[in-house]
């Protein structure tokens, strides 16, 4: 049986909502039945994508509170675009965490 609070939210839903609320505005949370095409026990996800900069964040939580969050970037297959993707990733990671992460 899932650990459900007074509002009907499972522990995993509370975990993903705590993650999603760190963004302004908060990310939309959705329940998911599968992750990587495998059955997800009490699975939840949220994500955001900026198409102008081709960068985003996706997070999933499933099973016994397993939270996985990913920074994603995409680009065309040329060196200039690859450099833009690398620059976006570096800014996303090191801009927030600093170079000593």
Of residues 90 and 6, more confidence is placed in 90
Taking only the tens place, the pLDDT of each residue in 2-55 is: 677 677 899 999 999 999 999 999 999 999 999 889 999 999 999 999 888 778
SS3 category, 29: strand
pLDDT of 83 strictly over 90: no
Contact between 55 and 90 under an 8 Å Cβ cutoff? The reply is no
Tell me the CA distances in angstroms from 70 to 5, 47, 48, 84, 93, one per residue in order: 27, 9, 11, 18, 11
Residue 14's pLDDT is: 96
Residue 1's pLDDT is: 46
Of residues 60 and 51, more confidence is placed in 60
Of residues 21 and 96, more confidence is placed in 21
Taking only the tens place, the pLDDT of each residue in 62-80 is: 999 999 999 888 877 778 8
């Amino acid at each position: 049986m899932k650990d459900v609070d007074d509002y009907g939210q499972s522990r995993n839903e509370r975990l993903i909502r705590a993650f999603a609320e760190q963004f302004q505005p908060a990310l939309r949370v959705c329940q998911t039945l599968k992750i990587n095409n495998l059955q997800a026990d009490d699975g939840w996800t949220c994500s955001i994508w900026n198409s102008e900069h081709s960068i985003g964040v996706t997070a999933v939580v499933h099973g016994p509170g397993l939270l996985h969050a990913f920074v994603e970037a995409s680009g065309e297959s040329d060196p200039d675009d690859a450099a833009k993707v690398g620059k976006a990733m570096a800014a996303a990671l090191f801009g927030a965490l600093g170079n000593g992460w």
